[in-house]
Amino acid sequence: MKFVCKKSDLVKGVNIVLKAVPSKTTMSILECILIDASTGQIKMTANDMELGIETVIEGNILEKGIVAIDAKIFSEIVRKLPDNDVTIETDASFKTKITCEKAKFDISGKSGEDFSYLPYIEKNEYISLSQFNLKEVIKQTIFSVSDNENNKIMTGELFEINGENLKVVSLDGHRVSIRNLKLKESYDPRKVIVPGKTLVEVSKILSGEMEDEVRIFFTKNHIVFEFDETVVVSRLIEGEYFRIEQMLSTDYETKVKVNKKELLNCIDRATLLIRESDKKPIIIQIGDGEMRLKLTSGVGSMNEEIVIEKEGKDILIGFNPKFLIDALRVIDDEMVTLYLVNPKAPCFIRDDQESYIYLILPVNFSSASV
Amino acid sequence: MKFVCKKSDLVKGVNIVLKAVPSKTTMSILECILIDASTGQIKMTANDMELGIETVIEGNILEKGIVAIDAKIFSEIVRKLPDNDVTIETDASFKTKITCEKAKFDISGKSGEDFSYLPYIEKNEYISLSQFNLKEVIKQTIFSVSDNENNKIMTGELFEINGENLKVVSLDGHRVSIRNLKLKESYDPRKVIVPGKTLVEVSKILSGEMEDEVRIFFTKNHIVFEFDETVVVSRLIEGEYFRIEQMLSTDYETKVKVNKKELLNCIDRATLLIRESDKKPIIIQIGDGEMRLKLTSGVGSMNEEIVIEKEGKDILIGFNPKFLIDALRVIDDEMVTLYLVNPKAPCFIRDDQESYIYLILPVNFSSASV
C-alpha cells in the first residue's frame, strides 16, 4: 500500500476514528486503526465492538492495500509531522513507513485480517437533522445519563420519533432530562435506546454547524450516524425504556419565574462551600417577589436573595445543587420557570412549549440547617 | 476589621500570595493568608517558612484589624464573586463575612497570633533589573535544576554578580545551563544560591514587562524580590556552589551551525517513539553539510537529515533527546552553534558573546542501534 495525503487531512481523519479506539483492551487488534486503500478511496476504521467509526480522507493512492496500525503511536506521529504532504507506505510484512519532508518513521503494522469490520447495515429508513441540533440535544441531556452499569438502560438515552417530533430523554434516578425537537419531515414512530458513550463520542466529532446535515439510520440492533465523510455505527441498548409520561405532571402549587444566569451563578458560588466528600443541599426559600438561597457546611455558610416573580404558595425546599446547575447550564432562555408542589415532590423546569422539561427530585434537610 | 475593595484587586492579590501557601502541611496556620488592615493599607501575606510573599491591594479600610483565613477556601470564594465591590468584615471571634452584591459568605478565621510574619530584612544593597529579564533568565535555566533533595545545592540556581554582569547557573549532573545578563549598573561581587522553587513562583508573579522593574536585595540568609506592590522573601541555600569554570572549555574538534527550529522539531518528533519507561538516545551523525538524526525504540524507528554548516571532524554522538530539547526551546536565536570534541565529551551550545552556554553530556549507545 502506498498513498500520499495532506498532513491536516490525515490528522483530522485519525482524530475522528480515534474516538472508537478503546483506552483499555486485551485485544491488541482493537487498539489499531485499519487503513484501507484497497478500493479507490483511503478509508480509516476503528471499532471497539460497541462503537465503530469509519471516515474517508482525501489523498492520492499510488498502490492499493490495507494495513492495521497501532492507533496511539500513529496518531502521535502524524500530529507532530511538518505541515506538508505525507507518504504512507507498507511493505509485504506490513512494516509501515511514514515520510514527510525529511522525516522518516518506520513502525510495525498488521495485516488487518483479524480486524473487526463495521457490521453491514441496510440503510432504509433514516431521519435527517442538522449537526447543530444533534450536538445541542446531546449536550442538553447527556449529563443525566447514569454511569451505573448495573442498570444498563439508564446508561443510554431514549430517542423517540413520533411524526415530526424527536424526543430525547435521559434519567439517572434523581432527575429526568427531556428535550423535544421538531424535525423537518414526518417519520414513522420509533423508539431506541442509544448508549450514552456513543452520543458523547458522536457529539465530539459533529461540526455543530446548522448547515451540515446528519442522517440517522436504525436497524433492530444498531444506530448509524452518517455525516460529512464519516459513518458511526453503534449497538443499541436492548430493553424497554422507562415510562416517562407517568413521572410528569403539570399540576403545581408554586410557580417561580427567575433570571437564569442569576440563579445559576448563585448556586455555583454556593457549591464552593462543599468539600468533595459531603453532600450539602442548597435550601431555597420562596416567598413573595424573592427567593432566598442558603447553604451551610463545615467550611462556612452563604446566603443570597434573588428577585423572582411568584404565583401560588410559599415553599421551603432543598436540592442537590449540582442537579440544578447541570440543568440550568444547558437552558438558553434568559428567564426560566420552576414549578413546585411540596418539599417532597419533584421540581420541574420547563418552557411553555415543553421544548425542554427538567425534572429534579428534592432532598431532605434538617430544619436545623435552615 | 472591615474594608471594601474591588473583586479584581482582591483576586489579583490572593493569586500572588497563594504561591507561598504550601500544598501540604501539618501546621494549619501556614495554610492561611494573613490579611492585615491594621495600618493604613490592606496587606496580604503567606509564608511557608522557606518562601514568603506579601502584597498590598487597593481598598477602603472602614475598621482596622487583622485576620488569618484559610487560603484555599478564601481564594475559591473571591474568584467566583460577581465583578463588583467586595466587603470583608470580621467580628470579635474572627468570623469573616464576605459580601458582594447580594452574595453573603460566612467563614471562620483566626487571630493570626501564631502566623509567621516575614523576617525583617535590612534593605541595603540591591540590584535592579527589568521584570522581563528576570522572568526570561529563570525560564532559560530553571529546567536543569535538579529535583533530588539529597543534593540541596543542585536544587538551587547560582546568582553571581560581578560588576555589570549577572550570571545565572543551574545544573543537575547531566547538563549545565548558564546565562549571562548585562546589568544597567555595576555592583559589588556577590554569589548566592537561590532555591529553584522560589524562582519558579517568582517568575509566575512577574509581569514580564520590559518597563517594570524588580529590585533584588541580599542578606546573609535571604534574598528579597521587590516589584509592583509585592515583596517576595526567600531563604538562600547554604553552601558553596560547584566550580563551573573548570567544566567549561572552548576547545572543540567539530563545530556545527544549524537552524534551531529545524533541529528542535526533528528531535521533538523523534521522542514520539519513546515510551515513558525506556531511555533511548537520539543518535546524531555529523558529516559534511548534513546532520543525520536517528532514533530506534521498541515502537519503531525514525531518521531525518538536516542541512548544516560544519567545521572540523565528522562525529557520531548520542544524547538524551530531552536535554537537547530543553536547551533549544529557550534559545531565541534562529541559528545555533554546537561545539563537540568526541562522543564521550560534553557538547556545548553557545553564542559568540557567551550570553548563553548550555553544556550537555552525551550518552553511550550500542553501535547496533546506529
Of the candidates B205, B228, B245, which is a domain's last residue?
B245
A102 touches chain B (CB under 8 A): yes
Interface with B, mutate which of A96, A97, A302 (most B CBs under 10 A): A302
The pLDDT value given to residue B121: 83
Which chain A residues in 56-95 lie under 8 Å from chain B, judged by CB atoms?
Answer: 73, 76-77, 80-82
User: Taking the CB of residue B37, how many other CB atoms lie within 10 A of it?
Assistant: 23
Query: How close A252 comes to chain B (CA, Å)?
Result: 29
* Alpha-helical runs (H) found in chain A: 7-17, 71-80, 131-139, 196-205, 260-270, 321-329
Residues B262, B329, single domain; the answer is yes
Query: Is the Cα torsion angle A280, A285, A290, A296 positive or negative in sign?
Result: negative
Question: What was the ipTM of the complex prediction?
Answer: 0.77
Amino acid of residue A278:
D
Let me know whether A133 and A166 are in one domain: yes
Cβ B153 vs Cβ B173: under 8 Å: no
Residue A290's SS3 state is strand
**B31's grid cell:** 495554610
Interface contact flag, A80 B273, Cβ < 8 Å: no
User: How many C-beta atoms surround the C-beta of residue A191 within 10 A?
Assistant: 14
Does residue A116 or residue B159 have the better pLDDT? B159
Name the band, by pLDDT with cuts 50, 70 and 90, for residue B141. Answer: very high
In this structure, of A111-120, B305-314, B323-332, the range with the lowest mean pLDDT score is: A111-120
Question: A102: pLDDT confidence band, cut at 50, 70 and 90?
Answer: confident
Flag if A302 and B105 touch (Cβ within 8 Å).
Answer: yes
Which class for B294: exposed (0-12), middle (13-18), buried (19 or more C-beta within 10 A)? buried
Q: Are residues A239 and A266 in the same domain?
A: no
Q: Are A84 and A44 in contact (CB under 8 A)?
A: no
> Which residue type, as a one-letter code, is found at position B302?
M
Please give the average per-residue pLDDT across B158-176, as a whole number: 97
Query: How far, CA to CA in Å, does A231 sit from each of A1, A18, A139, A275, B196?
Result: 23, 13, 20, 43, 52
Q: Yes or no: say if A74 and A61 are a contact pair by the CB < 8 Å rule.
A: no
Give yes or no: residues A240 and A335 share one domain.
Answer: no
DSSP state of A363: B
In a domain, A326, yes or no: yes
A120 domain residue, yes or no: no
Mean pLDDT of A80-93: 95
pLDDT of res. B278: 76
Do A299 and A229 share a structural domain? no
Q: Which long-range contacts (CB under 8 A, 24 or more apart) does A340-347 make?
A: A340/A252, A340/A253, A340/A254, A340/A255, A340/A256, A340/A286, A340/A315, A341/A249, A341/A251, A341/A252, A341/A253, A341/A254, A342/A253, A342/A315, A343/A315, A343/A316, A343/A317, A343/A318, A346/A247, A347/A317, A347/A319
Quick one: average pLDDT of B38-43?
Answer: 95
Instruction: Pick left, alpha or beta for residue B59 (phi over 0 → left; psi -120 to 50 → alpha; otherwise beta).
Output: left
Residues whose CB is less than 8 angstroms from the CB of residue B100 and which lie 6 or more positions away in sequence, other chains included:
B7, B81, B82, B84, B85, B86, B87
A36 min Cα distance to partner chain B (Å): 21
**Chain A contact for B335 (CB, 8 A cutoff):** no
Same structural domain for residues B192 and B278? no
pLDDT (average), residues A289-293: 95
The alpha-carbon gap from B192 to the nearest alpha carbon of chain A, in Å, equals: 41
- Arithmetic mean of pLDDT over chain A: 94
Interface contact B269-A81, CB threshold 8 A: yes
**Residue A4: is its pLDDT beyond 70?**
yes
Please tell me the predicted confidence (pLDDT) of residue B267. 95
- Which of B104, B272, B300 shows the shortest C-beta gap to A80? B272
C-alpha–C-alpha distance, residues B303 and B292, integer Å: 7
Q: Residue B117 falls within a domain, yes or no?
A: no
CB-CB under 8 Å, B102 with A304: yes
Residue-level pLDDT at A26: 79
Greater confidence (A278 vs A285) lies with: A285
Cell triple for A76: 502521535
3-state helix, strand, coil in chain B (%, to 5): 20, 45, 35
**B103 versus A87: which is more confidently predicted?**
A87
C-alpha distances out from residue A8 to A86, A99, A156, A201, B64, Å: 9, 14, 34, 21, 61
Written as nine digits, the cell of B15 is 493569586
- Closest-CA distance of chain A to residue B316, Å: 19
Cβ atoms of A256 and A309 closer than 8 Å: yes
Distance between CA atoms of residues A143 and B227, nearest Å: 46
B183 part of contact set with chain A, CB < 8 Å: no
pLDDT value at position A237? 97
- Across the range A248-262, mean pLDDT stands at 95
Q: How many domains does chain A have?
A: 3
Is residue A118 in some structural domain? no
Q: Does B269 share its domain with B360?
A: yes
The predicted structure's pLDDT at residue B367:
59
- The whole-number pLDDT of residue A367 equals 59
Identity of the amino acid at B270: A
CB contact under 8 A, A299 and B269: no
Give one DSSP letter per residue of B170-192, joined into a string: EE-SSEEEEEEEEEEEEEEEEEE
CB–CB contact A269 B106 (8 Å): no
> Which three cell numbers mark B120?
525583617
Contact A299 B73 (CB under 8 A): yes
Q: Are residues A33 and A88 in the same domain?
A: yes
B240 shares its domain with B254: no
Of B102, B103, B105, the CB nearest to A300: B105
Q: How far apart are CA A159 and CA A193, in angstroms?
A: 6
Q: Which residues of B touch A82 (CB under 8 A)?
A: 265
Are A268 and B80 inside 8 Å of each other by CB? yes
Whether A113 is in a domain gets the answer no
Q: Are A81 and A7 in contact (CB under 8 A)?
A: yes
Considering A245, A272, A303, which residue would you say is the last residue of a domain? A245
Residue pair A13/A68 in contact (Cβ under 8 Å)? The answer is no
**Residue contact A272–B77, C-beta within 8 A:** yes
pLDDT at B24: 82
- Residue B121, domain member (yes or no): no
pLDDT band at B275 (very low <50, low <70, confident <90, very high): confident
| Partners of residue B302 in chain A, C-beta under 8 Å | 103-106
pLDDT of residue B157 exceeding 80, the answer is yes
A292 touching B (Cβ < 8 Å): no
Q: Which of B31, B269, B295 to probe the A interface (max A CBs under 10 A)?
A: B269
From B61, B77, B108, the end of a domain falls on B108
For residues B305 and B284, what is the distance between their CA atoms, to the nearest angstrom? 10
Alpha-carbon span A272 to A274, nearest angstrom: 5
**pLDDT at site B368:** 53
Chain A CB contacts of B109 below 8 Å: none
For residue A370, the model assigns a pLDDT of 55
CB pair distance less than 8 Å for A265 and B77: no
Number of H helices, E strands in chain B: 6, 23
Contact A73 B300 (CB under 8 A): yes
Instruction: Give the three-state DSSP class for B48.
Output: coil
pLDDT of B265 above 80: yes
Residues A255 and A225 in one domain: no
Give residue B283's domain range: 249-369
Contact B81 A269 (CB under 8 A): yes
Residue A194 sits in a domain whose CATH number is 3.10.150.10
The residues facing A306 across adjacent strands are A291
Angle at A341 between CA A336 and CA A346, to 5 degrees: 70
In a shared domain, residues A364 and A267? yes
DSSP A241: P
Res B102: pLDDT: 86
Using a CB-CB cut-off of 8 Å, the residues of chain B touching A77 are 269, 272
Do A102 and B306 lie within an 8 Å CB cutoff? Answer: yes
Domain assignment present for B116 = no
Residue B303 lies in a domain: yes
Q: What is the pLDDT of residues A195-242, one digit of tens each?
A: 999 999 999 999 999 999 999 999 999 999 999 999 999 999 999 999
Q: What is the DSSP letter of B363?
A: B
B106: nearest CB among A77, A82, A300 = A300
B133 in the same domain as B237: yes
Contact B304 A103 (CB under 8 A): yes
A298 contact B CB<8A: no
Per-residue pLDDT at B27 exceeds 90: no
